[in-house]
Amino acid sequence: MDWDRLRIFHAVADAGSLTHAGDVLHLSQSAVSRQIRSLEDELNATLFHRHARGLILTEQGELLFDATRHMAKRLDAAAARIRDSEEEVFGELRVTTTIGFGSLWLAPRLPALYEKYPNLKIDLMLEERVLDLPMREADVAIRMKEPSQADLIRKRLMNIRMRLYASPQYLEQNGVPQTLEDLRDHRLISQNATAAQVSSGALLVRQLMSYEIGSFLTVNNYFGVLQGVIHHLGIGVLPDYLTQDFPNLVRVLDTVESNDVPVFLAYPEELRQSKRIEAFREFVTEEIIAHRRKERDGNV
């Protein structure tokens, strides 16, 4: 198949309109339409249903669009590797991690990265869904479990644990629980046990819910749980890395905690030589070392 026609088809399928695709490609609508008709003749298949509001892919069109989407991502990866052959660190780096870790630990530390590499552009994608790194949905990921794909480079950063925390004001007003049974006099703030989260955290929440709890507030991410805790709403199930940046958090029921949650940094094998990946990996590693040092000094 003609590569140029495939490029035009991909733009039309992505835009859902000949006119919009023409604007992106800097071609006239008639030129785009001729190329699509030629591709349909070449394949002996109808790729789009035409209607007043635009274009809809046929079943055959969906198959071809899936292929061109994969091609486009591979070309993006190749272009990134070519750009990264330069010594200077610049351009876009797409980073994905969870809402809690990204907003509460990573984002506050990014000024150090930008200070060193002011021309770097970070696209921070915070969601619980695991993005597909080999298919270039993101360039690098920080995940709360070891990645399963074989073609990823991975580095274990640290372990975290989920524990119980409250604000001093809440404990002053409501008392400090001494046993799990005392939670009947308190409000528990956590993610719902069925929500997308680390499995150890979900297990701890289920264990806590087996006791008689006075009141509940469930939020679908740790950022929301933290907001409830610092506004004195109750006792929250939160990751232990928060205590450095939020020193007013008071741990309660010191023996109650989850199993270790491993934190991994991962990126595709094809980006091994990326200067942007290298810069980000070194930055995160340095921040983890500083985090561990503060944690160690605080326990002395």
209-240 pLDDT, tens digit each = 898 998 999 998 888 999 999 999 999 999 99
pLDDT in tens, 123-150: 999 988 877 777 778 889 999 888 877 7
For residues 10 and 296, the model is more confident at: 10
Q: What angle do CA 104, 282, 100 make, to 5 degrees?
A: 15
pLDDT of 21: 87
Q: What's the pLDDT tens digit per position in 62-84?
A: 999 999 988 888 787 777 666 65
CA-CA distances (angstroms) from residue 136 to 24, 124, 183? 22, 14, 45
Report how far apart, in Å, the C-alpha atoms of 135 and of each of 24, 66, 269 are: 23, 12, 12
Instruction: List Cα–Cα distances, 53 to 13, 17, 29, 205, in angstroms.
Output: 14, 9, 15, 48
How far does the chain reach from its first CA to its final CA, in angstroms?
67
Rounded to the nearest 5°, which phi and psi values hold at 171?
-70, -35
Among 51-60, 110-119, 126-135, 193-202, whose mean pLDDT is lowest?
193-202
Cα(89)–Cα(84) distance, integer angstroms: 7
List the alpha helices (DSSP H) in 231-274: 242-245
Q: With a cut of 90, say whether residue 4 has pLDDT above it.
A: no
* pLDDT grade for 275, boundaries at 50, 70 and 90: confident
Pairing of strands 120-126, 162-166: unpaired
CB-based contacts of 54, cutoff 8 Å, min separation 6: 16, 17
Does the structure show a pLDDT above 80 at 99?
yes
Tell me how far apart the alpha carbons of residues 35 and 27 are, in angstroms, rounded to a whole number. 11
Residue 59 Cα distances to 15, 62, 77, 233, angstroms = 17, 5, 28, 52
Rounded CA separation 1/7 (Å):
11
Judge residue 271's burial from the number of C-beta atoms within 10 Å of its C-beta, 0-12 exposed, 13-18 middle, 19 or more buried.
buried
Pick from 85, 19, 25: nearest CA to 274: 85
pTM for the structure as a whole = 0.67
Query: Average pLDDT for residues 266-292, to the nearest whole number?
Result: 88
Contact partners, residue 289, CB within 8 Å, separation at least 6: none
pLDDT number for residue 145: 84
**Can you give the pLDDT at residue 81?**
63
Rounded to a whole number of angstroms, the CA Rg of the chain reads 25
Contacts of 273 (CB under 8 A, 6+ apart): 81, 84, 85
